[in-house]
DNA sequence: CTTTTGTATTCAGGCAAATGCGC
DNA sequence: CGCGCATTTGCCTGAATACAAAA
């Protein structure tokens, strides 16, 4: 985004008493009169906004038109936020004084636009960067959830329809008309576009699915597993209640635990792996056994954990460094002003980073390029500079004059070489690599072997900050052992640093879970080597996360009642907090911590600014902003009147673009407030809670009928609702459009085939038409003669192609065998059929009749028609799902938000193999859930 | 019908970007 | 009270697979 931005932190502000301590812009207490005022009429702002947003799609989708002001995120700038301690009770001394506003001001990356001090005069200066183009349509995430506090959630009852409807995607046409915010994703998408090319046909998709089974069809185990359970039900759940020994309780009743454990063992079977293609059918329990000692089932054994100490003993082998850089072959050189230059190793490496990215959009991103080039120059200078062929120094001054093409081409060559190796060669390489990594794969935590996650030190490269990250493109430096701190048990042997090096430090801190750490040079962030998601440490905390969310169930009613009440509080801070809670609860917004100017300008609930919300009377709120990862959050949703009114108040002048909506609130305060309800409660818990809650609700609506595949599709639909709620998106693949087109053509082709079959029937029995006119009615989808003709042409071409190819192939083979090749005459003869086809089509077009093949009967033809109809239907649903899901990412919610026990419950209850839904890694990660939940489990 | 082939989809890993809490 | 630290969340990518059409 870009677009308007505000400059100036304070210009319009007068009361900045000491000049450095800004304060909230809003008044402390909300007078009754203001409340009343906001009740009635709608102010200018609201009306104005109406003009800017228009509702287009009948389905309820509304699109923001292109006006710059609507852009969600404005220019970034220094955010001068000050937080004044406000004693709410102290009354309203500061009531009207428009204190300094909290706003995001501009500073546009490089040019600091001087005048920041001026008021809003240049609010609208668009950033130089890319202007808006098309925007993606974001489906409205609202998902109906239980009517806990009935009146409270506007979307729950009557209103819910709107957003729900909005879930439907708009038509492409409309899509392209719109313009507006360009999200990071879109930018990326565009970039790829260029690199794309051919496509192909094939349909599929939709079902997103299905995998594994095909080959090892066997795999019945899971089924069996379910059958079993059902011992005493006792599980009215509430595992919480059934605490066992110590502090923490187990996920499920202990009783069935043992049984459960056993069962699921067969269930899990060795997933796939199946290195050979296809047929590996090992998978027997026997194999499971060979799997070394039995693993630690922490979930059956919850004792410890006071929370702070994470381990007692810890042994590991440290980290794996990337291989040192090796100079490129002599003939591969970057050019400057057309002349090959020799770079010092360090600089060549950096140039290579860029050279390898020439075909990405980064290479044409001005900020990226600028940051890269600056760092490149610095590094070059540090290492002696570039030399010309004559050995003389060459000063690299201009990016424009640099030509990285030779490097790019070299890398491409390398890639091709690798590809040419074939599966065999690559496998060998992989074995080698695996061997080098072997020792790092596992560590021993409290004596148990646990998998390590990211033991590889991140290699150097160019920083790929997402969205409009000010630092994107900077050189991410190589990490030296001297920067790496090792955390390991006191008793353990400290892994040796690479020869000639030493560690920054070696510590023995058992209150943290990391094995190694270092500081990254771009943002100064700290990186860690931690255990894999399948480890007990991660598993336990995941479990706790979900238990915490379930615990929230007990408090949610009260919390909702409270914030409903506080929506009317006369204290601004309380009212803002209540309003924020409403949004977090209803829309699953993230908390919205403050960010710095050297990060991309993205927001969450608490950091929403004036321009991110538009109010449309009577109670529609349009959210349009960039959230985490610069993913656009665009939603038009009704809210309860009090919230609408509050937002109006929070946007009231003098607040304007750049100012915080919740200027009396921040995440710390919000979370502190939440702690009062329940220890450990924070804003993010609401996301988990609402996601899992929604999933439970959705799953409950699924009927236990149909094929496994259908049930799986139903699950995915539920999953999708959650993903939409959480605004989890993905970029539409660059090939999406072509694939859709192709599929459409294919469907039409099928329809044409159907038409021909019907015509054949009529040739056999002309009187059928009278008997069943409906059946022979022309298909409206392909009544276009033009199209039919084109299609016929392409069919003929295809056939010709096929015959020719086959001919050539045969010849090739003959040649190999040193036999005589076929003559061209042979080919000609074979191509005779083409002539026949043409004639046939011609006749068909003229008379509308087709001679059936020999031996055809009406019955046979009808059978074929039926088959084709099935295929058409299948293709159509597939196409629909593909289109509907193109921007929705299901994975994130599956991995992070949906309590895995829900999935396990679903699978057991409906006899769907867990493998269908949880891939190998997820099955490992969620082993605790698989072994502890049964078909009656409830979130 | 089975095998082959070529592509689309899924998986698993990578690392950036959030949250949240305590010093 | 702002920052540092630890941990969770999230999108994307390259490699591995599955799938459907062709042979």
Handedness of CA A5, A11, A14, A15 (dihedral sign): positive
Q: Does A492 score more than 90 pLDDT?
A: yes
Please report how the helices A572-587 and A667-675 are oriented relative to each other, as an axis angle in degrees rounded to 10. 80
Tell me, what's the pLDDT at A819?
A: 74
Residue A542 burial (CB count, 10 A): 19
Angstrom distance (rounded) from CA A643 to CA A662: 13
CB contact at 8 A, A492 and A522: no
- Report how far residue A551's alpha carbon sits from residue A561's, in angstroms, rounded to the nearest whole number: 17
Percent of chain A at pLDDT above 90? 47
A319 is near strand B: CB distance < 7 Å: no
Task: Please report, for the domain that includes residue A462, its CATH number.
Answer: 2.170.11.10
**Which A residues between 500 and 559 have a beta carbon under 7 A from any strand B atom?**
520, 523, 525
Check whether residue A477 and residue A616 sit in a common domain. Answer: no
More confident residue, A202 or A306: A306
CATH number, residue A612: 3.90.15.10
Residue A211 covered by a domain: no
A470 plus A571 within the same structural domain:
no
Decide the pairing of beta strands A485-487 and A516-519: antiparallel
| Whole-prediction pTM | 0.75
Tell me: pLDDT of A453 over 90: yes
**Which pLDDT score, from 0 to 100, does residue A556 have?**
97
User: In strand B, which positions have an atom below 7 A from any protein CB?
Assistant: 6-22
Token representation of residue A450: 């646990």
- The structure tokens listed for A361 are 């959009």
Residue owning tokens 């700038």? A77
Q: How far is the CA of A440 from the C1' of C7 (A)?
A: 21
For the stretch A264-288, pLDDT in tens is 333 333 333 333 333 333 333 333 3
What is the mean pLDDT of the segment spanning A394-413? 94
Q: For strand C, list residues 721-740 of chain A whose Cβ lies within 7 Å of it.
A: 726-731
Written as six digits, the tokens of A47 are: 């009306």
- For nucleotide B21, the protein residue with its alpha carbon nearest to C1' is A668
Among A393, A420, A447, the domain boundary falls at A420
Whether residue A625 sits in one domain with residue A683: yes
DSSP lists the bridge partners of residue A531 as: A452
Q: Is A932 strand, coil or helix?
A: coil
Report d(CA A623, CA A633) in Å as an integer.
7
The DSSP H or E segment spanning A54 is strand A53-55
Q: How confident is the model at residue A306 (pLDDT cuts 50, 70, 90)?
A: low
Same domain, A400 and A489: no
Does residue A212 fall inside a structural domain? Answer: no
Q: Are residues A689 and A826 in the same domain?
A: no
Yes or no: say if A621 and A634 are a contact pair by the CB < 8 Å rule: no
Beta bridge partners of A102: none
Which residues lie across from A623 on neighbouring strands? A613, A635
Q: What share of chain A is helix, strand, coil (3-state, %, to 5)?
A: 45, 10, 45
Predicted pLDDT of residue A340: 95
DSSP H or E run through A222 = helix A221-228
Mean pLDDT check: name the lowest of A215-219, A366-370, A817-821: A215-219
Cβ–Cβ under 8 Å, residues A124 and A17:
no
Q: Which nucleotide is nearest to A892 (CA to C1')?
A: C10
Q: Which residues pair with A508 in a beta bridge?
A: none
Q: How many helices (H) and strands (E) does chain A have?
A: 29, 21
Cβ of residue A512 lies below 7 Å from strand C: yes
CA of A152 to C1' of C16 (A): 48
Per-residue pLDDT, A789: 83
The model's confidence at residue A765, banded by pLDDT at 50, 70 and 90, is confident
Two tokens, residue A497: 């640093």
The separation between CA A659 and the C-alpha centre of its own chain, rounded to angstroms, equals: 29
What does the alpha-carbon distance between residue A923 and residue A646 come to, in Å, rounded to a whole number? 45
Overall average pLDDT of the A668-680 stretch: 96
Q: Which helix (H) or strand (E) holds A636?
A: strand A632-638
A411 and A343 in one domain? Answer: yes
Query: CB neighbours of A218 closer than 8 A, spacing ≥ 6?
Result: A281, A283
Same domain, A650 and A796: no
pLDDT at A131: 29
Q: Cβ neighbours of residue A930 under 8 Å, at least 6 residues apart? A: A264, A267, A268, A900, A904, A914, A918, A923
Residues A662, A576: one domain?
A: yes
Question: Average pLDDT for residues A445-453, to the nearest whole number?
Answer: 94
What is the b/e burial string over A885-895, where b = at least 16 CB atoms within 10 angstroms of the residue's CB?
bbbbbbebbbb
Cα–Cα distance, A240 to A234 (Å, whole number): 13
Tokens 């609402």 locate to A690
Name the residue with the least CA to C1' distance from nucleotide B11: A919
| A361 located within any domain | yes
Looking up residue A352, the CATH number of its domain turns out to be 1.10.10.41
Q: Round and report the angstrom distance from CA (A513) to C1' (C3).
A: 21
For residues A77 and A830, which has the higher predicted lDDT (pLDDT)?
A: A830
Task: Note whether residue A861 is domain-resident.
Answer: yes
Q: How far is the CA of A214 from the C1' of C18 (A)?
A: 8
State the helix-helix crossing angle for A255-268 and A221-228, rounded to 10 degrees: 170
H-helix segments, A399-525: 405-420, 422-441
Q: Which domain holds residue A438?
A: 434-532
DSSP A831-891: THHHHHHHHHHHHHHHHS--PPPTT--HHHHHHHHHHHHHHHHHHHHHHHHHHHHTTB--H
Written as six digits, the tokens of A473 are: 């493109």
Mean pLDDT of chain A: 74
- Give residue-wise pLDDT tens across range A574-624: 999 999 999 999 999 999 999 999 999 999 999 999 999 999 999 999 999
What does the pLDDT read at residue A120?
A: 32
Task: Write down the pLDDT at residue A188.
Answer: 53
* Structural domain ending residue among the three candidates A656, A681, A701: A701
A460 touches strand B (CB under 7 A): no
* Same-domain pairing of A527 and A545: no
User: A280 in a domain, yes or no?
Assistant: no
Please give the pLDDT value at position A303.
59
Q: Region of A592 please: left (phi>0), alpha (psi -120 to 50) or beta.
A: left
Which nucleotide has the shortest C1'-to-CA distance from A798? Answer: C22
* Separation of CA A426 from chain center: 30
A685 CB closer than 7 A to any strand B atom: yes
Of residues A6 and A741, more confidence is placed in: A741
E strands, A289-392, where? 314-315, 335-336, 339-340, 386-387
Domains in chain A, number? 4
Provide the pLDDT confidence category of residue A292 given band limits of 50, 70 and 90.
Answer: low
A518 vs A62, which has greater pLDDT? Answer: A518
Alpha carbon distance A643, A646 (integer Å): 5
Query: How do residues A132-150 score in pLDDT, each as one tens digit?
Result: 222 233 333 333 233 233 2
Q: How far apart are the first and last CA of chain A?
A: 39
Q: Which nucleotide is nearest to A671 (CA to C1')?
A: B20
Q: Closest nucleotide to A593's CA, by C1' atom? A: B19
Least-confidence region, from A12-16, A120-124, A389-393, A743-747: A120-124
3-state secondary structure of A887: coil
Q: Which nucleotide is nearest to A81 (CA to C1')?
A: C2
Q: Are A687 and A590 in contact (CB under 8 A)?
A: yes
**Rounded to whole angstroms, how far apart are CA atoms A589 and A811?**
65
Tell whether the model's pLDDT for residue A4 goes beyond 70.
no
Residue A546 lies in a domain: yes
User: Token digits for A878?
Assistant: 């597939």
User: Using a CB cutoff of 8 Å and minimum separation of 24, what contacts does A535-538 make?
Assistant: A535/A445, A535/A450, A535/A451, A535/A453, A536/A296, A536/A298, A536/A445, A536/A448, A536/A450, A537/A310, A537/A311, A537/A445, A537/A450, A537/A513, A538/A925
Gap between the Cα atoms of A331 and A557, Å rounded: 71
Q: Is the pLDDT of residue A486 over 60?
A: yes
Q: Is the CB of A627 under 7 A from strand B?
A: yes
Question: A517: Cβ under 7 Å from strand C?
Answer: yes
Are A395 and A487 found together in one domain? no
pLDDT at position A364, please? 92
C23 C1' – A807 CA distance, angstroms? 13
Query: Is residue A550 domain-shared with residue A601, that is, in the same domain?
Result: yes
Q: Which residue has the higher pLDDT, A791 or A194?
A: A791
Question: Which residues from the 629-668 window of protein chain A have CB within 7 angstroms of nucleic acid chain B?
Answer: 629-630, 667-668
Let me know if A897 is a catalytic residue. Answer: yes
DSSP-derived letter for residue A583 is: H
Out of A854, A869, A886, pick the residue that ends a domain. Answer: A886
Which of strand C's nucleotides are less than 7 A from any protein C-beta? 1-2, 4-13, 16-23
User: Which residues in window 850-869 of A are less than 7 A from strand C by Cβ?
Assistant: none
| Residue corresponding to tokens 């003559």 | A823
Tokens matching residue A104: 């995001």
Classify residue A909: in a domain, yes or no.
no
User: Per-residue pLDDT tens for A838-870?
Assistant: 888 888 888 878 887 777 788 888 888 888 888
Q: In A 553-612, which Cβ lie closer than 7 Å to strand C?
A: 590
A531-535, A748-752, A850-854: which has the highest mean pLDDT?
Answer: A531-535
- Above 50 in pLDDT, residue A64? no
Task: Answer for A400: CB within 7 Å of strand B.
Answer: no
Residue A400 in domain: yes
Q: Which helix (H) or strand (E) holds A625?
A: strand A620-626
| Pair (A506, A615) in one structural domain | no
């Amino acid at each position: 985004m870009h677009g308007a931005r505000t400059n100036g932190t304070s210009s319009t502000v007068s009361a900045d008493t000491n000049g450095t301590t800004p304060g909230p812009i809003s008044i402390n207490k909300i007078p009754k009169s203001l409340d009343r005022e906001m009740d009635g009429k709608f102010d200018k702002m609201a009306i104005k906004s109406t003009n800017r947003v228009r509702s287009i799609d009948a389905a309820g989708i509304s699109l923001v038109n292109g006006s710059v002001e609507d852009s969600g995120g404005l220019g970034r700038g220094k955010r001068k936020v000050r937080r004044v301690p406000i004693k709410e009770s102290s009354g309203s001394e500061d009531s009207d004084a428009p204190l300094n506003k909290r706003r995001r001001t501009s500073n546009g990356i490089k040019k600091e636009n001087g005048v920041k001090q001026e008021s809003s005069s240049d609010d609208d200066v668009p950033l130089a960067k890319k202007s808006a183009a098309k925007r993606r349509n974001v489906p409205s995430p609202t998902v109906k959830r239980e009517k806990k506090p009935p009146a409270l959630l506007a979307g729950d009852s009557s209103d819910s329809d709107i957003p729900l409807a909005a879930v439907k995607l708009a038509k492409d046409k409309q899509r392209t008309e719109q313009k507006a915010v360009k999200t990071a994703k879109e930018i990326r998408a565009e970039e790829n576009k260029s690199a794309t090319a051919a496509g192909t046909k094939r349909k599929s998709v939709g079902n997103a699915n299905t995998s594994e089974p095909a080959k090892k069809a066997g795999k019945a185990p899971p089924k069996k597993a379910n059958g079993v359970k059902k011992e005493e039900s006792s599980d009215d759940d509430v595992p919480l209640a059934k605490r066992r020994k110590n502090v923490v309780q187990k996920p499920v009743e202990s009783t069935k635990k043992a049984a459960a454990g056993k069962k699921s063992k067969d269930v899990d079977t060795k997933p796939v792996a199946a290195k050979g293609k296809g047929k590996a059918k090992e998978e027997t329990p026997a194999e499971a056994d060979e799997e070394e000692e039995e693993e630690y089932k922490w979930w059956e054994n919850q004792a410890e954990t006071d929370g702070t100490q994470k381990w007692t003993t810890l042994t590991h082998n440290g980290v794996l460094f990337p291989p040192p850089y090796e100079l490129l072959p002599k003939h591969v050189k970057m050019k400057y002003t057309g002349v090959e230059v020799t770079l010092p190793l360090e600089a060549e490496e950096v140039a290579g980073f860029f050279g390898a990215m020439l075909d990405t959009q980064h290479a044409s991103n001005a900020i990226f390029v600028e940051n890269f080039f600056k760092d490149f120059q610095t590094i070059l200078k540090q290492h002696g500079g570039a030399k010309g062929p004559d050995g003389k120094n060459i000063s690299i001054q201009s990016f424009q004059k640099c030509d990285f093409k030779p490097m790019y081409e070299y890398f491409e060559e390398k890639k091709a070489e690798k590809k040419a190796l074939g599966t065999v060669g690559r496998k060998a390489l992989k074995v080698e690599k695996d061997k080098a990594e072997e020792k790092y794969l596992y560590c021993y935590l409290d004596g148990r072997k646990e998998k390590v996650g990211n033991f590889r030190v991140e290699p150097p490269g160019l920083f790929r900050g997402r969205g409009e990250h000010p630092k994107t493109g900077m050189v991410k430096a190589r990490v030296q052992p001297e920067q790496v701190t090792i955390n390991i048990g006191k008793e353990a042997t400290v892994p040796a640093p690479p020869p000639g090096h030493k560690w920054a430090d070696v510590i023995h801190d058992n209150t943290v879970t990391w094995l190694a750490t270092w500081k990254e040079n771009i943002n100064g962030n700290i990186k860690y080597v931690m255990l894999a998601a399948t480890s007990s440490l991660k598993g336990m905390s995941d479990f706790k996360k979900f238990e915490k969310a379930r615990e929230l169930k007990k408090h949610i009613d009260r919390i909702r009642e409270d914030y409903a009440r506080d929506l009317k509080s006369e204290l601004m801070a309380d009212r803002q907090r209540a309003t924020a809670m409403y949004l977090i609860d209803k829309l699953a917004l993230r908390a919205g911590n403050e960010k710095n100017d050297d990060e991309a300008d993205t927001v969450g609930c608490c950091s929403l600014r004036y321009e991110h919300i538009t109010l449309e009377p009577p109670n529609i709120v349009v959210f349009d902003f960039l959230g985490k990862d610069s993913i656009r959050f665009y939603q038009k949703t009704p809210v309860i009147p009090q919230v609408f009114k509050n937002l109006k108040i929070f946007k009231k002048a003098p607040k304007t673009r750049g100012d915080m909506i919740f200027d009396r609130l921040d995440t710390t305060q919000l979370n502190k407030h939440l702690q009062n309800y329940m220890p450990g409660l924070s804003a993010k818990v609401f996301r988990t809670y609402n996601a899992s809650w929604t999933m439970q609700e959705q799953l409950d609506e699924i009927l236990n009928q149909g094929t496994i595949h259908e049930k799986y599709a139903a699950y995915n639909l539920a999953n999708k609702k959650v993903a939409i709620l959480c605004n989890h998106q993905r970029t539409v693949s660059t090939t999406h459009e072509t694939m859709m087109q192709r599929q459409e053509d294919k469907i039409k082709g099928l329809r044409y085939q159907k038409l021909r079959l019907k015509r054949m029937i009529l040739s056999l029995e002309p009187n059928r038409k009278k008997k069943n006119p409906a059946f022979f009615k022309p298909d409206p989808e392909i009544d276009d003669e033009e199209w039919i003709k084109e299609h016929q042409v392409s069919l003929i071409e295809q056939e010709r192609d096929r015959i020719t190819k086959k001919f050539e192939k045969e010849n090739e083979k003959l040649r190999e065998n040193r036999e005589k090749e076929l003559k061209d005459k042979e080919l000609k003869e074979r191509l005779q059929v083409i002539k026949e086809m043409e004639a046939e089509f011609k006749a068909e077009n003229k008379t509308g009749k087709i001679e059936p093949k020999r031996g055809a009967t009406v019955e046979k033809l009808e059978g074929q028609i039926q088959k084709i109809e099935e295929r058409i239907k299948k293709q159509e649903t597939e196409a629909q799902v593909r289109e509907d899901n193109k921007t929705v990412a299901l994975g994130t919610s599956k991995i992070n938000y949906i309590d895995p026990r829900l999935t396990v419950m679903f699978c057991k209850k409906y006899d769907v193999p867990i493998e269908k839904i949880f891939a190998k890694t997820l099955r490992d990660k969620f082993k605790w859930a698989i072994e502890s939940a049964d078909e009656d489990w409830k979130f």
